[in-house]
A and B are shown apart, each in its own frame.
Chain A
Amino acid sequence: MQQIINFLIRNKHSLLFLLLLFLSLIFTIQSHSYHKSKFVSSTNFLSGGIYGWQHSISDYFRLKKENQRLLEENEQLHNMVSALGVDSVATKFVDTVSFNRPYSFTKARVIKNDYSKIDNYVLINKGEKDSIFPDMGIITDKGIIGIIENTSKNYSRVISILNSNSRINAGLKKSNQYGSLIWNGKDPNIVQLETVPRQALLKEGDTIITHGRSTIFPRGIGIGTIVNYTLDQNKSYYLIDVKLFNDMTNIGFVYAIKNNDAREIKNLENLNQ
């Protein structure tokens, strides 16, 4: 016993080193697997607060560009409303309380955005207080950004499409073939769409959209256009390079999508199990 205690006292520095190293390796390994990196995250009040404060200053330098973007979006929405026809808009009663819309949107502001690492995250300034919860999709008016991974009271962390753990269902706009969207970590404007069957007819410039096969994104949200495609080694699937509509290095405002039917769909899916 005496010897054990002596050993511990003699090697206390090395033991402390090993213990802390072990801890940091656990955090590292957790951060490399999806949905587990909850402990060390920037959604806490300290880092969230500091990023929020920093962003409230740097926001002023972006106002002009942001206004321009909102104007463009407004224009587009106006066009869509007018295409619906005045009568139907004026007479249709939309009950916003009973959530009879399939999706509802919440606006949020990006307060931190990474794109230079392999696993990137985006931090937004809305949290559980604004009924933002994990597994909601995040988009801008141009295209998708990512999926909420964890939330705190006032902030949420989004797993960006520029993250090697991210897998998002996406497909071609003109047909029903689909695959999963991944990122190889090289160019923040190019993502990869894999496991698209070789029967698909592809052309450079084709549009890639979300396909609505999960409860996260509705069908038809833009992602990007094809810049290049190759067959994989087995010659059965395409690997497609997709240029994003969004400039991932410059995101200001985003929308969180809540699927109001998500619980119903999940229940139905779980019936068979």
Chain B
Amino acid sequence: MSRPRSDVSSAGDPMRPADHADAAEPSGDVNQPALGFVGWLRWGWRQLTSMRTALVLLLLLAIAAVPGSLVPQRSADPNGVTQYFTDNPELAPVLDNLSMFDVYTSPWFSAIYILLFVSLVGCVIPRTKHHWKALRATPPRTPARLSRLDVHRTETLEYTDDQAAAAAASASIEAAQQQLKKAGYRVARDDSRGVLSVSAERGYMRETGNLVFHASLVGVLLAVGIGGGFTYTGQTVIIEGRTWVNTMLDYTSFNPGRFVDENSLTPYALTLDRFDVTYQPRGTQGEGQAGDFVANLTTQRAGGAPGSGEVRVNHPLEMAGDRIYLMGNGYAPTLTIRDAAGEVVFSESVPFLPQDTNMTSLGVVKVPDGLDEQMGLVGFFYPTQVQRQDGAFTSAYPALTNPVVTLDVYTGDLGIDGGVPRSVYTLDTGEMDKLTGRGTDVESIEIAPGETAELPGGLGSITFENEAPDGASGYDESVKRYVSLSVHRDAAATWVLVFAVLATAGLLAALFVPRRRMWVKATPQGHTVQLEYAGLARGEDPTLDAAVEQFVQRHLASLPDG
């Protein structure tokens, strides 16, 4: 369909890269580097800002992004990376050397997008300058031979005499000028030697849109880069009834951007009053599927009155510029351990990590003080305990129908005294002796809420506290729940969105606003007037034909009969 091929089109477009499809053919010496250092520099810059380079870099970017979906990434899936190292001990270190586990921060990926954006800026700046001038320039003069353009029509009108024809020629160009102007064209008269013509151009928004689009992409990149420095995310766990305070101490992990001051977090506190969840009833499709998670919180800002807030999936809580997300939940059985004399040496609600959709959960209890030796317990919590065919326990349903904790007891050195950080969810049994469970001749501890069991070797006892309020039925609410929350301050998100929306708007204009030139020329010849109409697409313009045709019809209809 219409696309400018004629020499007329290429003449006035120095703003586009030289190898743009619509640009003039290279005249041989154009791509040859001029002599000298500056010449080489200029040549290199022209290469970098050429369409072909942009294209190649775009394709490279697409290809370079793929490995990150094939191999687990440290940023998105750190456990996956650990697993990968275990599964592929030979291959993993090789891949690691190639930054395959950090593709999107790797030197080669960065090199591609940085080059792409340098090219982009190098491309956009000269075009912006040129477009700025074009916006205030008058449309180009009428070409001598309109018949060489993409679309061309001629009409011959007859009049009574020469004078009438001359007057009609002038009137028709006047009318054409008005009509084009009304249709959103910028118009200019171009009369010479008895030939009258109007030259018109429209669709400057196309180029504006293109520039806005490309510039907004730079905006997105800058927002991500700069905003990232002011962004932080932190994780924490709150058990029902407990309060969490927004200070470094209370986070289980915290990832600050470069410019974040960890000591000046906005002080506020959150108390988890209750965590709600519903499970698909047994015997229905999707049995046990959890949904409608809600963490009901009491919020308290420094010096303010307490308020209430909810955190749900898809609905984070806004708090002093932070957004608080619900990332997970689980059971936190309350366990009390007494020594042989009956003294309490440990009493806490211990968050157990869910292992499956029925909330079979893994937990660790560490008792560093109060006993002769340090003690550790590892075990499972089953909200609905059942026995599998092979004799092992599992949970058959995620709600509390038959809650049981099973624990194995270890004594020895917990390995936490050396100051080396240890996860609260793992027990390093290297320096410890196993006292119960497989490999020993003592059964594992197995207790339901409200029950107490003896610890082996006369060490004392352990109680699984029943937390149900008075009047609760069955085991409802007998075990506390906890939520894991993620606290985010994202300085970039808003700006990224603004630039993304700008980019889309620019793109719409750049792709769908037709940019075209139109000329109407009137040549009086004796008692006739020859009217010529011509249209030229500048860029993709599938409707040029129809637009010229429509204009011709309207223009002819508006002329007084000769």
A and B part of one assembly = no
Residues of A within 8 A of B (CB): none
